[in-house]
Chain A
Amino acid sequence: MIVCSRCSKENQDHYKFCLGCGAELPRGPSASEPEALLASSAGGERTTDAPSAMGGASSALASASKLEVDPIAVAPARAEPVAVADPLPPELAPLTDQTSPCSHCGAQVPENFRFCHVCGHDLHAEGPLGSGAEVPEERVSAPAVNNAPEAVTERARLILIQPDGSEGESFPLAAGRTLIGRSTGGIFASDAYLSPEHAEFRFEGDQLVVKDMESLNGVYIRIDPEVPIELFDGSVFRVGQEILRFEAPVAPDPAPDGTQHAGSPHRGFVGRISLVIGRTATGNSYPIPPHGIHLGRERGDVLFPEDGYVSGLHCRIHSEVGHVFLTDVGSSNGTFVRVSNESFVPQGTFVLMGQQLFRAEY
């Protein structure tokens, strides 16, 4: 039993976050194990377990490649998912028209690629001589993102995870407060899914904390595999490209004359999940029976056959003693939960903001 120091709720020993308030719980001696999992899953970002997922990998979960694309053009392009059956190899996916010749074989390589798709040459490994112009511009300008221009005492870094899974530039987080958003410039300026003031990072003791500055699209944190996270009415989470909202069951009152609302027979539901397709609009919904449901691309009760970023079996939702939990079951790309107001960001956590995926290191 672990008693939360913040809200005094009693949590089971294996819980990493408090069921009551979401605060990170102090860890026992076995604490290194989940971190090892997380570290290994960083490599997993490169692929999902779906062969077909590779077809979409270039318009990645964190589509850092769209940095220079006009926001207006980004929005409609984003609306259509990349079909899994798309026969185009990833290097031909219509991400960017801008290409530059590979210094090794001369092939025209889209600028967002780290490796040449013809000869496999590592384009980043090239020295500044002869290839400086080929390095995408945003990488050159990236250090300007540091929004505390004076010499800061860097306590943490957000490391950009690029669409191909490799690590990109990193952004320092000062000991004080660091605001991130479209108004803070650099790589963030061109992300049309970031609010002007999107999120704020700060330290509380040794812990990094992120606060959602009432942004439109929120801040998502990757949950550890096999660690249940409680869902509340209105909780939003993301698997692959899909944004899902959990809703507690709400039944209308019976009519004043005692007539009950007719409907399909059932043995009770603990809530339902709805696909978020707009500010106020939801698409398909599925009720969650007490014994729970699994979500996956190919296996489970709720399937996403067209989303190559969803693993074959991705996560599950179940209820225990009146509470509803979301558990990632070892997906390749992870299950992300939207931060409600603010959250601790443990070392190594993946954070999703706008179109970008980062890893917090400190």
Chain B
Amino acid sequence: MEQARNYVCTECASAVPSGHKFCGACGGPVPAEAQTLETQFFGALQMPGKARLIVVRGDEAMGEGLSYLLQATEHVAGREADQIPFPSDNWLSPTHANFLYRGEKLVVRDEGSLNGVYIRVRGTSPIRIGDHFMCGQQLFRIDATPKDSSGPEPDQTYFYSSPRRPSAFRVTQILDGGMDGIVCCALEQTVEIGREDCDINFPDDVYMSPRHAKVEMSGEALKLIDENSQNGTYVRIRGERELGHGDYLFLGRNLLRVEVTA
């Protein structure tokens, strides 16, 4: 006893090879679902080139572990967005970021948000004066050392300042609410951030590694170096940035992971 190897006509019980629309023996029609023999994906998830976003750490209203399939060409995320909403995170602008495809590539574009989009640094990232970055729960900005003339006043009085040391740049902590917090001027060429024994220390930040990251000036260029921290160092993107499988992003308080099937 064995199974028929083809579709069997319901009218005359003859075998009908795949691809035939009518039975060759009796002319009876073959149903449409029996004709499409191309293998389908279980879900759009497995469509090649399409990506999804997984909410690794999200706000309470939306929960964690949510994922968003990026099947359209553009996907807007924000506090009042329809596609990728984060309604309870007031660090997100109403329209915050857009995930869109440029050809085969997925990119994220900052839609002029107040607080920006941060991407995890893989090893080392170039960085510029005015850029923002995150380590643990801490947010920072890189500033230039202020220029101040050392000459006397018109009446020939000199300004008495604290002893100054040459400093190429400085790192400013930004506090929740937008105030400036700790300011640390680079001594020599680096500012190191961590939980202890660094230039800026956060003993209370449980997401900070002991030595987390450093900003380094080499020549004229600044580099942001993640020192193999457990939770990573994130830099704010300017404009738009191409995304790849395994990238991590911060939008407000939400941490997202990008998955792309090649």
Contacts and interface: CB of A to CB of B under 8 A. Distances in A.
Interface of A: 71, 74-76, 78-81, 182, 192-196, 215-217, 241-244, 249-252, 255, 257-266, 269, 272, 274-287, 306-307, 354-355
Contacts of A259: 79, 90-94, 113-115
Given A75-B150, A258-B90, A260-B90, A283 B159 contact: no
Interface in B138-160: 138-139, 146-150, 152-153, 155-160
17 contacts: A74-B158, A79-B164, A182-B156, A215-B157, A251-B179, A258-B79, A259-B79, A262-B139, A263-B177, A265-B137, A266-B175, A272-B181, A274-B183, A278-B159, A280-B146, A282-B183, A355-B160
Contacts of B158: 71, 74-75, 78, 192-193, 216
B180 interface: yes
A306 B160 CA distance: 18
A357 to B, nearest CB: 13
Name which of A182, A255, A262, A269 has the most chain B CB atoms within 10 A of its CB: A262
A217 B146 contact: no
A255 B79 CA distance: 13
Contacts of A216: 153, 157-160
A116 B159 CA distance: 33
A192 B153 CA distance: 10
A281 B146 contact: yes
Counting contact residues on chain B (CB < 8 A from A), the size range is 35 or more
B187 to A, nearest CB: 10
B96 to A, nearest CB: 9
Contacts of A251: 177-179
Name which of A215, A216, A259, A279 has the most chain B CB atoms within 10 A of its CB: A259
Interface in B162-200: 162-165, 167, 170, 172-185
B252 interface: yes
B6 interface: no
A262 B141 CA distance: 12
Contacts of B183: 274, 282-286
Nearest to A302: B182
Q: For chain A, what secondary structure do more than half of its interface residues adopt (helix, strand, loop), or is it mixed?
A: loop
A261 B141 CA distance: 13
B76 to A, nearest CB: 15
Contacts of B218: none
B166 to A, nearest CB: 10
A257 B93 contact: yes
The 9 closest A-B pairs by CB, nearest first: A278-B148, A261-B178, A81-B163, A285-B183, A281-B146, A262-B115, A281-B148, A263-B176, A252-B178
Contacts of A274: 183
Name which of A252, A258, A306 has the most chain B CB atoms within 10 A of its CB: A258
A206 to B, nearest CB: 32
B3 interface: no
A264 B193 CA distance: 14
Contact of B148 (A249, A266, A277): A277
B162 to A, nearest CB: 5
B40 interface: no
Contacts of B113: 259
Contacts of A217: 157, 159-160
B161 interface: yes
A307 to B, nearest CB: 7
